[in-house]
Chain A
């Protein structure tokens, strides 16, 4: 136990600029995000992540926004296990034929406003997998999408910034 406490004290709070040039961007994104979340979602934005066929690269970066360095929870962003509690779906693609029905069902179980963010090049337009017998292409081929975050995979900063653009100016 003493080792754990020592390690925690020694590590301190790492949610701080590590590389200043990069972190200026996140903190700025974060401050605006926090304000928008406070106003529209009473300080809590709940996200359900859906992998509709991705290669797992985007998932790793979505994991990263939860790590202590990006620490998305400080802005009130929380990931949930059920779409029924979610304000937003964070979907990675391309949508495969075998996931299409599951994605539609997830979308239908989400309460309004059903914000949808498509993450990654494949989520935007199918990326290198294109459209084929089994890949339907971008997420918007199956459910309405509010914001696209391109990148292969997008960095954690880009994902946080993309979520911000949506909740500051949602179309619905």
Chain B
């Protein structure tokens, strides 16, 4: 039973090829003509699929032009539709009118790869700034990434609102707190937000291009630094995509240890976020309590795994560090104390009426909108979408662990906070289960090198949501392209929708409840 393939077969007819190079073989990639690329999107929309990612790859080294890929998702099923465009006519039909997240994916493809989505309503550069040379397309193979680029004069046109009493508030890129840089442009009347426009790209470090100059092994280190707070999930995503390409089978013990790291990362980040959300509603008590619990957890990470965020503990083929009986004991002891304290704090959160006044009905992302922007992760689950890769597309060991996914429908700040509360409890339960059943054996295996023109796909549920990696091997087995889709790439759109009609002083609270990554988005 395959809903997406059934929906697409009548549309693309006989004219299509299957991309045999894609791993794992469960995920299907069809190569269609440029016209059918748009038709396929229409069929996908009709089948209620979500657009998970859209990206381009420069395949000139294989003697082809550019490959444009759109990845759709329906429940557990992923389907990739690819079209090829010749080098001297780099255009493809835009999907933006059918799928909202394509709006930014396509601006990015246009800016960084120099391939034009025909019919796109807004082709202002994205991530590429106005002072870059116009013909600088860093993801093309012909681009020399080692040289600095000259600055040219240019202007970025923000959306304007005019009328009596309408004014503009520019915020950033250097924000007031200890957070990452990005620019927000508010149009407001009095205190009410009429429109919010995000402008991101300030922390564009050229990560996707950098992957192409690193070896497969070094790539997992770089993946761990796409977004520092999600280091475990990103290196896991990268390694899983690579392992499917090389056919490496990861030892069972390593798989369970990876899940242990992933759940610990989830708890630590959720604790930090819950404290920060309350702090933005001027409830500093919770910030101090939660950051204390978080710090205790990070110290145990350091003690057991040698790094507070467990960076570089996941490598292609397995993990670098094991856990012994004393370590297990320490974690169980820690979780017992943590859960007890956490539950007390949650009662305080729940009973505080002035806090409730701030977080309820603030920053609502209604379920329809969340669906429209194809939201993922916490944001989706707080707005009624039951999406979680751990249950729908489970990588081992999640196929043997039952995960309860909390879903709320109110879509406000409280819902996003409450999803985190439930997930902390659930992750504590999962970790206990992992420690109970942790199989014995080796913790890593030889990973090997993928064959030329092979590609690998993986989806991992990080603490923010679904992270997608797509790797493509080059002509002599090096990295031709590494596509990273952090959950932030789509969820940032949700913030723009959620703040409409709220007051400007509630923006920090809304923003914190989303807590999207700038670095993971800008790459």
Residues of A bordering B, CB below 8 Å: 3-4, 7-8, 11, 14, 18-19, 22, 49-64, 66-70, 79, 81-83, 94, 96-99, 102, 106, 127-136, 152-153, 155
Q: Knowing A62-B178, A99-B181, say if A57 contacts B203 (CB, 8 Å).
A: no
| 4 closest cross-chain pairs (CB), A and B | A57-B228, A81-B176, A67-B291, A55-B228
Q: Which of A7, A11, A56 contacts B180 (CB 8 A)?
A: A56
Identity of the chain B residue whose Cβ is nearest the Cβ of A155 in the assembled complex = B308
Do residues B228 and A56 form an inter-chain contact, with CB atoms below 8 A? yes
Size category of the binding interface on chain B: 35 or more
Q: A49, A51, A70, A97: which contacts B149 (Cβ < 8 A)?
A: A97
- Whether B517 is near chain A, meaning CB under 8 Å from some CB there, is yes
A102 touches B173 (CB 8 A): yes
Q: Are B295 and A64 in contact (CB under 8 A)?
A: yes
Query: Residues of A contacting B173 with CB < 8 Å?
Result: 99, 102
A-B contact pairs, 25 of them (CB 8 A): A3-B348, A3-B351, A7-B348, A8-B285, A56-B227, A56-B228, A57-B228, A57-B231, A59-B179, A62-B178, A64-B291, A70-B295, A79-B178, A81-B177, A96-B202, A97-B148, A128-B210, A128-B225, A133-B138, A133-B144, A133-B148, A134-B204, A136-B148, A152-B311, A155-B308
Output the least CB separation between B486 and chain A (Å).
Answer: 11
Tell me whether A18 and B145 are in contact (CB under 8 A): no
Judge whether A94 and B179 touch: CB under 8 Å: no
B206 part of interface (Cβ distance < 8 Å): yes
List the A residue with the shortest CB-CB distance to B312: A152
B518 CB-CB contact with A under 8 Å: yes
Asked whether any CB of chain A lies closer than 8 Å to the CB of B229, the reply is yes
A128 pairs with B221, CB closer than 8 A:
yes
- A49 close to B178 (CB less than 8 A): yes
Q: Could you tell me the distance between the alpha carbons of A4 and B50 in the complex, rounded to whole angstroms?
A: 44
Indicate if the CB atoms of A3 and B347 lie closer than 8 Å.
yes
Residue of A nearest to B269 (CB): A60
Determine whether the beta carbon of A7 is less than 8 Å from that of B201.
no
Q: Using known A-B contacts A14-B292, A55-B226, A57-B229, determine if residue A98 contacts B204 with beta carbons closer than 8 Å.
A: yes
Which residues on A sit within 8 Å (CB–CB) of B209? Answer: 132-133
A68 to B286, CA, bound (A): 12
CB of B176 within 8 A of CB of A7, answer no
Q: Which chain B positions have C-beta within 8 A of A62?
A: 178
Interface residues of B (CB under 8 A from A): 129, 136, 138, 143-149, 173-174, 176-181, 201-207, 209-210, 221-222, 225-229, 231, 272, 285, 288-289, 291-292, 294-296, 298-299, 302-303, 308-309, 311, 344-345, 347-348, 351, 517-519
The answer to whether B299 and A18 touch across the interface, beta carbons within 8 angstroms, is: yes
Q: Which residues from chain B contact A131 at a C-beta distance below 8 Å? A: 146
Cα A70 to Cα B291 in complex, Å, equals: 11
* CB atoms of B203 and A96 under 8 A apart: yes
- Nearest residue (CB) in A for B200 is A98
Q: Do A129 and B210 touch (CB < 8 A)? A: yes
Q: A7-B345, A102-B174, A129-B210 are in contact. Are A67 and B205 (CB under 8 A)?
A: no
Given contacts A7-B289, A79-B178, A96-B203, 10 further A-B contacts (CB under 8 A): A50-B174, A53-B205, A58-B228, A60-B228, A63-B272, A102-B174, A133-B138, A135-B206, A152-B311, A153-B309
CB distance from A96 to the nearest CB of B (A): 6
Q: Which residue in A79, A82, A134 is a CB contact (below 8 Å) of B206? A: A134
Select from chain A the residue with minimum beta-carbon distance to B177. A81
CB-nearest residue of chain A relative to B230? A56
Question: When the two chains form their complex, are residues A102 and B181 in contact, meaning their CB atoms are under 8 A apart?
Answer: yes
| Closest partner residue, chain B, to A98 (CB atom) | B202
Give which listed residue, B206, B294, B348, contacts A132 with CB less than 8 A. Answer: B206
By a CB distance below 8 angstroms, the chain B residues around A60 are 228-229, 272, 309
Give CA–CA (A56, B309) in the complex, Å: 12
Chain A residue at minimal CB-CB distance from B523:
A134
Q: CB distance A133 to B136 under 8 Å?
A: yes
Closest to B178 in A: A49
Q: A144–B344 Cα gap in the complex (Å)? A: 48
A103 to chain B, nearest CB (A): 8
Residues of B within 8 A of A99 (CB): 173, 181, 202-203
Q: How far is the CA of A20 from the CA of B4 in the complex (A)?
A: 58
A11: B residues at CB distance < 8 A:
289, 292
